Amino acid sequence: MSQFFMNEKGDLVNEAIEGVLLSTPWHNLSRLDLGDDIRVVVRNDWDKSKVALISGGGSGHEPAHAGFVGKGMLTAAVCGDIFASPSVDAVLSAIINVTGEAGCLLIVKNYTGDRLNFGLAAEKAKNLGYKVALVMVQDDIALPENPQPRGIAGTALIHKIAGYAAEQGEPLEQVQALAQRAIEATATIGLAFATCHVPGEARDERVKPGQSELGMGIHGEPGVTTLETQNSREIVAIMTEKLAKTLPEQKKALLLVN
């Protein structure tokens, strides 16, 4: 029995994007007409004299990524299949369609497929004469020994901070520098009571009733430890202690609760 409210699995991503376009209250979003397999949501009120911001990744993480397209945030979102990175061609199509002389910044989450495909698209775009920069979000602190920290919820803050700079007309170098500074100052820790799963596939039942997993990845990747509790006060105390260690002394912090 399905746990998903959907029509057909094969149409799920395209229909979800169609729903976003129809429901936006400002009627400021469009999808590039490049076929069913290239899914790029763009601002249709975009001013190419400003730096464009492009992000994206696998679908199934709503409201990311199409939900962050709009004034003061992303110019375009490139949507892959569920939990699968968009293709190089899809990212390149986004760059070509929204980038003017001011250039574009790619905001990429630190996953192998995203790094590879966005990186290759950036190089192809540069060879075509486009001005492209890239930043890599890696805000996950749950696995302290991980040489490749994952990009997770903090990515939304990077969209917002870089988006503000771009909206003010800052040059690409400044927008990239501000985004990188924000990335280095962002720390995220996650927790889940159960794994997520792809429609039509069985859920991994490794988290038992009454337990929670600290640091589970957004695709269900294993976290750092299993906690024998689902008590909110106990869990928040553990997470807050770990996050507090990343804060500079006497500095204010912005808290995002997702």
Phi, psi (deg, nearest 5) at residue 225 = -160, 155
Catalytic residue among 61, 65, 197, 219: 219
Catalytic (active site) residue 27: no
Give the span between the Cα atoms of 188 and 154, in whole angstroms. Answer: 6
C-alpha gyration radius of the chain: 19
Query: Shortest CA distance to 160 belongs to which of 149, 148, 168, 171?
Result: 168
Q: Are 213 and 191 in contact (CB under 8 A)?
A: yes
Helices 172-184 and 155-167: angle between axes, nearest 10 degrees: 150
DSSP of 15-32: HHHHHHHHH-TT--EEE-
Q: Which residues are catalytic?
A: 219
